Amino acid sequence: MRALSNPWRKFKEDALKVLKEAHTKLGWPWGELEVTLEEPPDPEFGDLASTVCFELAGKLREAPARLAKRLAEAAEPAGLVAGAEASNGYVNFRCDLAELARLTIKAIERMGDRYGHLPLGGGEKVLIEHTSVNPTKPLHIGHGRNSVIGDTVARILRALGYRVEVQNYIDDMGLQVAETLLAYRMAKEKPKGKFDHVLGKLYVDIHDRMKSEPKLEGEVRKILAELEMGGNRTSREARRMAERCVRSNLETTDRLNVSYDLLVWESDIARSGMLEETLNHLRRTPYLVRGKGKHDGALVLCLKEFGLEDKVLVRSDGTAVYTARDLAYQLWKFGKVGAELRFKPHSKRPDGTQTYTTSPDGEPRKKFGRASKVINVVGVEQRFPQRVVFTALRALGFQREYENSHHLAYGHVRLPGGKFSGRSGTWMGYSVDEVVDEAVARARAEVEKRNIGASESFKSRAAEEVGVGAVRYSLIRTSPEKEIVFKWEEALNFERNSGPAIQYSHARASSILRKVKMKGGRHRWDVFKLPEEQQLVKQLAKFPEVVKLAGEKLQPHLLALYAADLSLSFNKFYEVAPVIGAENEELKTARLRLVNCTRIVIRNALDLLGIKAPERM
C-alpha cells in the first residue's frame, strides 16, 4: 500500500466513515458529522471523540449517554479505526496503533524533508507583508515578533503548496523620518556603531532637544513638506539615509533567518500615480464625499453602510493620510490598479533569496503583486485602519479581494515595566541585535559546558544556532493576537517549551543514530507496546495535520507548541525505552526507525519555524 502523506487525516476520515455508517444503520439523521470530532483531553478516553449524541438528544428525545451506547455498538471497526466505545455521552474511537505506525513510519522515511508538506495551495499566489519598520531605528524585540510571525507563516504556506511573495514596506515619508533627518543633520558628533542604532539614538536626542527648543518643530514641518513634495535635495537625502538604515535592519533580519522578496518604498508608491488612481475609483462611488464641519474641505470615506465609522483619506490641506496610501498599496498587491512601480535587484539574502526593491530608476516587472490572497502582519492596534482598507475594496466592487484580505494581528511585546518607546529610547538593551547577542552569549556558556574539547568553530556555530533559535521560538510560541512580556528567563529556558529544548531533542536523536548504523531489518508493526512509544507514533502521525491547521488558521504558534510537545514525548520515550540496549534485535530495529523518524519530524518542524536543527549541542 502506498505510504500516505497525512496519516492522522486518514484516521479522521476512517472515523468519520464509521460514524456515518453507524448513523445509517440506526436510521438516524446526520449532517456535518466531521465538526463533532475532537481529540479528548485525556488519551484514556480514546484518540478521537464525537459529540454528536449531545446534538441528537433533543431531536431523538433520548439521553446522550443512551444514544452514545447505541451508536458505539453499531460502529464497526474499519481502516485505522480499531474500535468505538461510549463514555458519558461521547463516542470514543481508538486507532489501530500497529497500522498507524506502519503508515506513519513509511510515510516519513519515504518523504524525508517533505513530510509535513501538502499540495493544498495548487500554486496559488499569497502575498505577505511584514516587518515594515520606519527606517529610522533598529528593530526592537517587538518588531522582531512581527518579522518572525510573518516569516513563519510564509514558510508554512510554502509547505502547503502556495507561491508566497514576502514584502517589506518602507515608510520613508513620515514624521519620524523628518525628525531623524533633522537630528542627523544637526549632530556634530554622531554616535558610533551600527547605523540603525546610530539613528535610533539621534532620534531620542532630538526629542529631548525639542522639549526645550520649540523652533525645531518648524524645521521638522519644513522637512516633512519637502518629503511630501519630492524631487528635491531633502527627499533624496532622506532616501539615502533610509536606505542605509534598511541595509542595517536587513543585517538583523538575516541573523533571524528572515528573508524578503521585495522592499516597497512609500515614496515610490506616492509618486507612481497609484493614490490618485485609487481616489478616482472611489469618486465614482457614493462612498467618498467632501467633509463638513470639523472635516470641512477633506475627502472622507463613508462606510456606515458596512458598519464602520467615517475615515478621512485626504486632509483639507491636500495631504493624504496613511490609510489612503495603504488602500492604494492593497489594490496594487491584488493587481487592481493600472499604475506601475519600477524594480531593481537590491541584495541577496544568506538563504539565497534575491531581494528586489522598488526604485524610480528600476524597470517594470510583472512578477510582483497580482496575488490571489494578501496577508498583512500588523499590530492589533491597527484593526480599524485595516478594516477600513479591506472594506473599501468591497465598496469598490472587489468582493473576492475583500474576502481574501487578511489582517494577521499580533499583540505587542512589552517589558516587565511597560511598553517600548522610540522617543524615550526604552528599546535600548532590547533591540533584536542586543537580545540575540545576549542569547548567543548565554548559549555559548551552555555549549562549552557540554562540549569541553570541541573546536572553537563548532562552539561558535552551535551558540549562534541555539541563541537565534531561543529568540525566534520565544516570539512565536504564543498565539499572535496575545500580548507577550519579554523575560530573559523564559526566552532562554534551555529545559522545556523553548527553542533550545527542541533543538536538544534533535541532537539527542542524532547522537543515538550516530552510535548505531541503521541496517534496516524486519519487525512486526505491533511491536510498540509501551504507552510512550505509542504516544510518539501518534505525535508523528499528526505533524502534517498540524502544519495544515497552522496555515489555514494563520496561527503559527500551533506549530511551535506541537514541536515542544513532540520534543517532550521523545524525551519521555527515551527515558523508558532502551534503543541500543533493546531486549531483542526486532525491537531495536523498530525503535531505531522510530528515533530516526522523530529526528526527521523535529528537523522539519524547526525548519518551518526558521530554527536550525543542530546534530550536536
Question: What are the residue boundaries of the structural domains of the chain, listed by start?
Answer: 7-95, 432-608
* pLDDT for residue 210: 87
* pLDDT for residue 319: 84
* pLDDT for residue 419: 56
**Rounded distance, CA 568 to CA 348, Å?**
37
Would you state the torsion angle of the CA atoms of residues 413, 443, 473, 567, taken in this order, to the nearest 10 degrees?
Answer: -150
* pLDDT for residue 152: 98
Look at residues 577, 408, 598, 366 and name the one whose alpha carbon lies nearest to residue 502.
Answer: 598
Residue 81 pLDDT exceeds 80: yes
Burial 298-314 (b: 16+ CB within 10 A, else e): bbbbbbeeeebebbbbb
pLDDT tens-digit readout, 292-332: 989 999 999 999 999 999 999 999 988 889 999 999 999 99
Residue 470 pLDDT exceeds 70: yes
The sign one gets for the Cα dihedral 281, 284, 287, 288 is: positive
Helices 64-74 and 7-26: angle between axes, nearest 10 degrees: 110
* pLDDT for residue 426: 53
pLDDT tens-digit readout, 476-534: 999 999 999 877 777 777 777 899 999 999 999 999 999 987 766 789 999 999 999 99
Residue 617 pLDDT exceeds 90: no
Rg (Cα) of the chain, in Å, rounded? 28
* pLDDT for residue 214: 86
* pLDDT for residue 496: 77
Residue 1 pLDDT exceeds 50: no
* pLDDT for residue 417: 62
Cβ pair 97, 526 in contact under 8 A: yes
Which CATH number applies to 432-608: 3.40.50.2000, 3.90.120.10, 1.10.730.10, 1.10.150.20? 1.10.730.10
Q: What percentage of the chain reaches a pLDDT higher than 70?
A: 97
Say how many CA atoms lie within 13 Å of 482 toward its Cβ.
11
Contacts of 486 (CB under 8 A, 6+ apart): 141, 413, 414, 415, 416, 430, 435, 474
pLDDT tens-digit readout, 264-296: 999 999 999 999 999 999 999 999 999 998 999
Residue 425 pLDDT exceeds 70: no
Q: How confident is the model at residue 63 (pLDDT cuts 50, 70, 90)?
A: very high
* pLDDT for residue 331: 98
Average pLDDT value for the chain: 94
Would you state the torsion angle of the CA atoms of residues 517, 518, 523, 529, taken in this order, to the nearest 10 degrees?
Answer: 80
Greatest C-alpha distance within the chain: 86
Cβ pair 149, 377 in contact under 8 A: yes
Burial 364-393 (b: 16+ CB within 10 A, else e): eeeebbebbbbbbbbeeebeebbbbbbbbb
Burial of 79 per CB tally in 10 Å (0-12, 13-18, 19+)? middle
Beta bridge partners of 431: 140
Secondary structure of 477-509 as H, E, C letters? CCCCCCCEECCHHHHCCCCCCCHHHHHHHHHHH
Q: How confident is the model at residue 428 (pLDDT cuts 50, 70, 90)?
A: low
Cβ pair 394, 400 in contact under 8 A: no
Q: Which CATH class is domain 7-95?
A: alpha beta
Residue 2 pLDDT exceeds 50: no
Average pLDDT over residues 184-208: 90
Residue 423 pLDDT exceeds 70: no
Residue 424 pLDDT exceeds 70: no
